[in-house]
Amino acid sequence: MRNLLAVIDKEMKVYFASPVAYGVLTVFLLVSGYFFYNILSVFIQRSMMMAVQAQQFGGGAPAMDVPALVERNFFGIVSTIILFMVPMITMATFADERRRATIELLLTSPLTHFQLILGKFLAAMGFFVVMLLPTLVYHAFLYLYSSPKMALGPVLSGYLGLLLLGAALISLGIFISTLTESQMVAASVTFGVLLILWVIDLSAQAAGPLVQEILGYVSILNHFDDFSKGVVDSSSLVVYLSFVFLGLFLTYRSIESWRWRT
């Protein structure tokens, strides 16, 4: 446990010593805040227009759950933004170690490969959580000023979905980082792989029923829809945890093969 904590501490210090990390945080918060403001504005305007039309033509204004609509659309946008942010988070995890030739020191240290990989993964997840935390302000604002008060269940399930989605993408990004010494190559390949996993269900539309079902199942963003609606589906949990396991397992095998090659 001490070795694992040492790896996490070291990696977190590396993250917050890098200007890239602050750039990622700034861009994410600016973009997510921009979309939250615009989504909120659009649904408030729609609600007001519906109320005005109801007064003009008689009858009560149709019910419109603005907070729920804002939350669902906001989480959908954030899940897409994450595709662009994760490559920046994971690109240096192992690629930079290889570039600086410090990986040999890590492989010959008392650390096990499992501790090294898990430490880097948990540190990346820690940074990811730090990136998401300020967005709680948006939901606090919506909760304080909504009437009736919005339900907190969809917010909690939405953040659970973001954490699971982030964990799956980060594990794959860390694996790709072991394959190259270049951070830019690692970021580019990671983004390409994540983009394919995002749009893979579009390819399923031209395939047969069986292939369509399989491709739809591995489309990681499809499984996020349930979380954004406030539904925690066990099948989605299995898919995300399977991706996490697969990414960490491939990372372990890659480190093993690289060690023997050197």
Query: Residue 103 has what pLDDT?
Result: 72
**What share of residues in the chain are helix, strand, coil (percent, to 5)?**
80, 0, 20
For 57-66, 73-82, 121-130, which range has the lowest pLDDT when averaged over its residues?
57-66
Distance from C-alpha of 142 to C-alpha of 237, rounded to nearest angstrom = 28
Helix (H) or strand (E) holding 28: helix 19-57
> Taking the alpha carbons of 98, 101, 104, 107 in that order, is the dihedral positive or negative?
negative
CB 43 within 8 A of CB 50: no
Percent of the chain having pLDDT more than 90?
33
Query: Residue 31 has what pLDDT?
Result: 94
Burial of 225 (C-beta count, 10 Å sphere; 0-12/13-18/19+): middle
Task: State yes or no: pLDDT of 218 exceeds 80.
Answer: no
Query: Residue 204 has what pLDDT?
Result: 61
And the tokens for 198? 């995002």
Task: State yes or no: pLDDT of 5 exceeds 60.
Answer: yes
Query: Residue 40 has what pLDDT?
Result: 87
DSSP 63: P
pLDDT in tens, 148-200: 666 788 888 999 999 999 999 999 999 999 888 888 999 999 999 888 888 77
pLDDT in tens, 16-54: 888 888 899 999 999 999 999 999 888 888 777 776 766
Query: Residue 109 has what pLDDT?
Result: 74
Distance between alpha carbon 179 and the CA centroid of its chain, in Å?
Answer: 22
Task: State yes or no: pLDDT of 62 exceeds 70.
Answer: no
CB 159 within 8 A of CB 235: no
Distance from C-alpha of 125 to C-alpha of 131, rounded to nearest angstrom = 10
* Four-point Cα dihedral 16, 246, 223, 90, nearest 10: 20
Task: State yes or no: pLDDT of 60 exceeds 60.
Answer: no
Task: State yes or no: pLDDT of 7 exceeds 80.
Answer: yes
Task: State yes or no: pLDDT of 117 exceeds 80.
Answer: yes
